[in-house]
């Protein structure tokens, strides 16, 4: 069984920049015509992905105010404090359309999950755990956010079958850009193994495997990664996109006797990792490993850092690692409570989902003339150029 989990706002914002011509400032979204195009564009893109994947369950996740913004960062203005919105776009209108789109999804009985104080990243992590570990089902997370790659994972179902959490990035902007399916090494081996028993009338056809192969047939590249390694790297090297600093930054004199800022980089992270011998982020909660981390940082920077390592690691883990054991208990409890309602919703029929079916009954679709010949749809088709996003 395969589930698809959408990073809704990430997809919405990507469509915002592509509907007007790949980031050009000719679309401000001040006019209703441009907003209507955006609504149709998002609906077309999402429905196309759903038909490609053909999932059993469809889930949309949304951001709320982030609990991480209350975490103090001495080195800068705080979590995501560096984010600035493009000035030429009327963001109030874009957010209004996004809220309306969410209401349309809920009216159509799609699963839409938004939890107070939780980011969509947190919710995707909670859904991954629920579906992969508790239900023993495959998960495909759709997002262009590189942070989400840390959720890539392999597990085993109760009957011993391999199950996977993957991340599908359908965006193709930029030179030589390609769609990507991020997965583990075990996933690649499973996908290439055609000798196992089939799940479809015992005729050697694994329907779940066919779902993944269909994604790759849509000009997507399989990218093998280690999700835990990505999360660990962010703990020590930081995440500039979210304004999260490296675990430690210090000053050294260069050859000109001037102060030069030094930070824990990729090579220094590898030294720490090899010295301490950890493999997963939560291993850093172990006091013995924390002591070894501090010892190695002292060795690297040639002085004793002015912080308690357990406090600094706690900060870094909470800022960058997507794990329910690090989230506020209220967020986890609210998610678990909402699951009861979400599981009661009937599964959608993915092959019948398209822009018209999502927007049917709204002003965006003309029920008499399904809009197939109107100029607005011709413009969107031309913008899309037969490629998503």
- What residues does each domain of the chain span? 2-225+324-384, 229-320
Q: What one-character-per-residue DSSP string does 177-230 give?
A: --EEEEE-HHHHHHHH---SPPSSTTSS--HHHHHHHHHHHTTEEEEE--HHHH
pLDDT of residue 375: 44
CATH node for 2-225+324-384: 3.40.50.1010
pLDDT of residue 271: 97
Determine the number of helices (DSSP H) and then strands (DSSP E) in the chain.
Answer: 13, 10
The separation between the first and the last C-alpha atoms of the chain, rounded to the nearest angstrom, is 27
pLDDT of residue 246: 96
Angstrom distances, CA of residue 230 to CA of 13, 144, 185, 309, 379: 24, 15, 14, 21, 40
Per-residue pLDDT of the chain (389 residues), as tens digits, is 899 999 999 999 888 888 865 445 578 899 999 999 999 999 999 999 999 999 999 999 999 999 999 999 999 989 998 877 777 889 999 999 999 999 999 999 999 999 999 999 999 999 999 999 999 999 999 999 999 999 999 999 888 899 999 999 998 766 667 899 999 999 999 998 865 555 444 444 577 898 899 999 988 999 999 999 999 999 999 999 999 999 999 988 776 767 889 999 999 999 999 999 999 999 999 999 999 999 999 999 999 999 999 999 999 999 999 999 999 999 999 999 999 899 888 888 888 999 999 999 898 886 544 444 344 444 444 444 345 55
Burial class (CB in 10 A: 0-12, 13-18, 19+), 296: middle
pLDDT of residue 201: 45
Give, as one character, the DSSP assignment of residue 239: B
Question: Cα–Cα distance between 150 and 166 in angstroms, integer?
Answer: 10
Q: Output the pTM of the full model.
A: 0.90
Only one residue has tokens 């909660």, namely 285
Angle at 314 between CA 62 and CA 265, to 5 degrees: 90
């Amino acid at each position: 069984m395969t589930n698809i989990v959408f990073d809704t706002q990430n997809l919405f914002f990507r469509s915002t920049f592509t509907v007007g011509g790949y980031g050009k400032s000719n679309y401000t979204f001040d006019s209703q015509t441009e907003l209507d195009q955006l609504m149709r564009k998002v609906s077309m893109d999402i429905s196309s992905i759903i038909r490609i994947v053909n999932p059993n369950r469809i889930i949309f996740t949304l951001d709320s105010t982030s609990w991480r913004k209350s975490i103090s960062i001495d080195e800068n203005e705080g979590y995501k404090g560096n984010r600035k919105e493009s000035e030429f776009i009327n963001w109030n209108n874009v957010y209004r359309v996004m809220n309306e789109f969410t209401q349309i999804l809920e009216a159509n009985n799609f699963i839409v999950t938004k939890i107070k104080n939780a980011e969509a990243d947190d919710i995707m992590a909670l859904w991954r755990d629920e579906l992969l570990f508790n239900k023993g089902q495959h998960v495909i997370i759709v997002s262009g956010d590189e942070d989400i790659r840390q959720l890539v994972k392999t597990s085993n179902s109760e009957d011993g079958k391999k199950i996977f959490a993957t991340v599908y990035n359908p965006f193709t902007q930029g030179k030589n850009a390609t769609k990507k399916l991020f997965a583990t090494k075990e996933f690649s081996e499973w996908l290439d193994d055609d000798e196992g028993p089939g799940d479809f009338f015992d005729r050697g056809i694994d329907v779940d495997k066919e779902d993944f192969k269909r994604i790759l047939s849509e000009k997507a590249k399989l990218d093998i990664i280690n999700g835990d390694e990505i999360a660990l790297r962010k703990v020590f090297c930081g995440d500039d996109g979210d304004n999260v600093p490296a675990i430690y930054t210090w000053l050294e004199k260069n050859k000109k006797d001037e102060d030069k800022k030094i930070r824990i980089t990729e090579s220094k992270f590898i030294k720490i990792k090899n010295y301490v011998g950890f493999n997963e982020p939560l291993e850093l909660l172990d006091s013995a490993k924390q002591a070894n981390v501090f010892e190695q940082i002292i060795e690297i920077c040639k002085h004793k850092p002015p912080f308690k390592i357990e406090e600094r690691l706690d900060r870094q883990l909470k800022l960058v690692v997507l794990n329910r054991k690090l989230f506020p208990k209220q967020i986890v409890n609210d998610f678990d409570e909402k699951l009861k309602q979400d599981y009661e919703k009937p599964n959608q029929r993915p092959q019948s989902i398209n822009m018209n079916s999502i927007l049917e009954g709204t002003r965006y679709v003309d029920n008499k003339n399904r809009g197939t010949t109107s100029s607005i749809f011709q413009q969107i088709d031309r913008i899309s150029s037969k490629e998503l996003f």
